[in-house]
C-alpha cells in the first residue's frame, strides 16, 4: 500500500466506498470515503474507524504501518456507524488501546456494542500528549449527533472534525488541490444541504467557538471525502455562508404531476420567473432524486412547489419531499404552492397552511386550477411566476 501522509507521522488509513449510492435517503452518485487517521508518535493512536463491511481492509491497512499491540488510543469522534462501525473489532485486536470519546458516545455505544468496551471519556479542552503531538478535544454536540466531537493537533495545526466539512466524494486523490474544485465544492454543498442544514444554528456557534479559541488550521481532515490542505479556510468560510442561509438570486420549481396539468402550470410559472430576468430551474419529482431536489432548493431564494390533489391529500411524492424539508428547515426562502385538482378543491390551500405552519413563508395565495389549465389560467400562472420573481427581486438582503 502506498503510504498517504496528512502530516508528520500521520497516515490516512481510511477506505473508499466507490459504489455507495445511498446515504440517509439521498443518492450519493460519487460514492464516499470513511477516513481514518493513524498517528505514529511515542504513543500511537487511530482517529475514527470505518463502516463495518470494510473492517478487515481497514485493520490490514493499520497493520502495514504498525503493530496492533502498539496502539494506545482509538479516538472515536462520532458514533454513527459509518465511522464507529469497526470500533469494537479494532478495540478487540488492539489489546492495550483505550477508546477516547464523549460521554454521549459512551452511553450510545453500549446500545450498539454492549457494555464492555475499554472506554475513557474526554471533554472539551482535555489534552492527551502523544510525544511530539497533543490530542486536544472539542465537543461538538449535534454535529452531527449528540456524541460528536472534533480532535485537534495543535503542533501540526490539523483538525479532524469528523462529519463537518466532509463530502460524499470517492476519489483516488486524497487532497483538495488534486481534484476539480467545482466538483468538490458542489459535493461539499450537497453534503451540507442534505445532512447538516438543519444544524446551521449550531454550526454558527461552533464556528464562533473555533474563532474564539484562535485555532489555526494547516489541514482540515474530515471523515468523508477529500482532505482540505490547500487554503482550508475556504471551506470554513463556505460553512459560515451556508449556515447563514446564503442562496442565489434564483428560483426553482419542483412538481409532481398526474395527467400533466400541474406540470403545465409549473412551466408557465417558470416562464413568468424568466420574464422578470430571474434564473429558474424546473424539476420533476419523478425524474429527480431527493438529494438533487434538496440541493437545488438550498441554492435558491424562491421555491415553487407543485402537486395535484389525490383523494384528500396532495400527491404522495410531494408529501415525501415536505417530510424531508420539515426536517431540514431551509432558511431565508420564499415559498409558493400550485397544482391542479379534480373534485376536491381546497386540498392544496390546506397543504399550504401546513407548509406555512412548518415555518416556511408563503406570501402568495396558493395557485390551483380544476383539471387542465385553460389559456386564462396559463396566463395567470405566468403572472404568478412574475409575482414570485418580483418578491425575490425586491427582497432586501
One residue of 44, 61, 98, 224 binding ligand FEO per CB under 6 A = 224
One residue of 61, 144, 268, 333 binding ligand FEO per CB under 6 A = 144
What's the chain's length in residues? 397
When asked if residue 80 is in the footprint of ligand FEO (CB under 6 A), the reply is yes
Judged by CB, which is closer to ligand FEO: 163, or 377?
A: 163
When asked if residue 301 is in the footprint of ligand FEO (CB under 6 A), the reply is no
Under 8 Å between Cβ of 103 and 117 = no
Q: Which residues make beta-bridge pairs with 150?
A: 138
Residue 374 in grid coordinates:
385553460
The residue annotated as part of the active site, out of 26, 37, 78, 187, is 78
Query: Radius of gyration over alpha carbons of the chain, in Å?
Result: 24
Supply φ then ψ for residue 248, to 5 degrees.
-80, 155
The residue annotated as part of the active site, out of 82, 256, 317, 368, is 82
Contacts (Cβ under 8 Å, ≥6 apart) of 264: 372, 373, 378, 381
When asked if residue 17 is in the footprint of ligand FEO (CB under 6 A), the reply is no
Judged by CB, which is closer to ligand FEO: 83, or 333?
A: 83
One residue of 44, 51, 83, 331 binding ligand FEO per CB under 6 A = 83
What torsion do the CA atoms of 69, 70, 72, 73 make, to the nearest 10 degrees? -80
Judged by CB, which is closer to ligand FEO: 33, or 133?
A: 33
Query: Of 327, 331, 396, 392, which is closest to residue 363 (Cα–Cα)?
Result: 392
When asked if residue 82 is in the footprint of ligand FEO (CB under 6 A), the reply is yes
When asked if residue 78 is in the footprint of ligand FEO (CB under 6 A), the reply is yes
When asked if residue 186 is in the footprint of ligand FEO (CB under 6 A), the reply is no
When asked if residue 190 is in the footprint of ligand FEO (CB under 6 A), the reply is no
Under 8 Å between Cβ of 272 and 280 = no
Q: What are the angstrom distances between the C-alpha of 276 and each of 10, 264, 269, 341?
A: 54, 19, 11, 28
When asked if residue 139 is in the footprint of ligand FEO (CB under 6 A), the reply is no
Contacting positions for ligand FEO (CB under 6 A): 78, 80, 82-83, 144-145, 163, 223-224
Active site amino acids:
24, 78, 80, 82, 144, 163, 191, 224
Amino acid at each position: 500500500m502506498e503510504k498517504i501522509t496528512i502530516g508528520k507521522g500521520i497516515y490516512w488509513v481510511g477506505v473508499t466506498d466507490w459504489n455507495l449510492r445511498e446515504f440517509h435517503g439521498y443518492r450519493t452518485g460519487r460514492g464516499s470515503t470513511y477516513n481514518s487517521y493513524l498517528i505514529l508518535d511515542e504513543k500511537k493512536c487511530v482517529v475514527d474507524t470505518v463502516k463495518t463491511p470494510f473492517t478487515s481492509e481497514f485493520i490490514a491497512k493499520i497493520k502495514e504501518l504498525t503493530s496492533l499491540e502498539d496502539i494506545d488510543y482509538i479516538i472515536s469522534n462520532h458514533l454513527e456507524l459509518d465511522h464507529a462501525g469497526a470500533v469494537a473489532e479494532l478495540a478487540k485486536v488492539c489489546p492495550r488501546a483505550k477508546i477516547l470519546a464523549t460521554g454521549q458516545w459512551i452511553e450510545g455505544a453500549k446500545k450498539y456494542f454492549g457494555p464492555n468496551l475499554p472506554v475513557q471519556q474526554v471533554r472539551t479542552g482535555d489534552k492527551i500528549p502523544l510525544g511530539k503531538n497533543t490530542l486536544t478535544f472539542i465537543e461538538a454536540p449535534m454535529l452531527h449527533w449528540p456524541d460528536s466531537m472534533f480532535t485537534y493537533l495543535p503542533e501540526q495545526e490539523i483538525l479532524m472534525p469528523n462529519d463537518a466539512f466532509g463530502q460524499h466524494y470517492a476519489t483516488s486523490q486524497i487532497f483538495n488541490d488534486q481534484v476539480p474544485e467545482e466538483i468538490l465544492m458542489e459535493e461539499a454543498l450537497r453534503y451540507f444541504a442534505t445532512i447538516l442544514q438543519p444544524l446551521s444554528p449550531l454550526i454558527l456557534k461552533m464556528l464562533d467557538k473555533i474563532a474564539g479559541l484562535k485555532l489555526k488550521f494547516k489541514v482540515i481532515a474530515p471523515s468523508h471525502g477529500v482532505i482540505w490542505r490547500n487554503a482550508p479556510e475556504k471551506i470554513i468560510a463556505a460553512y459560515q455562508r451556508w449556515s447563514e442561509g446564503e442562496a442565489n438570486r434564483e428560483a426553482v420549481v419542483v412538481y409532481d404531476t398526474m395527467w400533466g396539468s400541474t406540470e403545465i402550470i409549473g412551466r408557465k410559472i417558470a416562464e413568468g420567473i424568466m420574464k422578470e430576468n430571474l434564473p429558474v430551474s424546473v424539476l420533476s419529482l419523478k425524474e429527480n432524486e431527493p438529494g438533487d431536489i434538496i440541493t437545488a432548493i438550498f441554492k435558491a431564494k424562491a421555491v415553487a412547489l407543485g402537486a395535484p390533489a389525490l383523494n384528500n391529500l396532495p400527491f404522495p411524492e410531494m408529501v415525501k419531499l415536505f417530510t424531508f424539508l420539515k426536517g431540514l428547515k431551509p432558511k431565508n426562502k420564499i415559498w409558493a404552492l400550485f397544482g391542479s385538482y379534480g373534485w376536491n378543491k381546497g386540498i392544496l390551500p390546506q397543504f399550504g397552511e401546513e407548509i406555512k405552519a412548518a415555518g416556511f413563508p408563503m406570501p402568495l395565495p396558493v395557485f390551483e386550477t380544476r383539471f387542465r389549465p385553460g389559456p386564462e389560467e396559463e396566463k395567470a400562472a405566468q403572472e404568478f411566476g412574475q409575482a414570485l420573481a418580483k418578491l425575490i427581486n425586491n427582497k432586501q438582503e
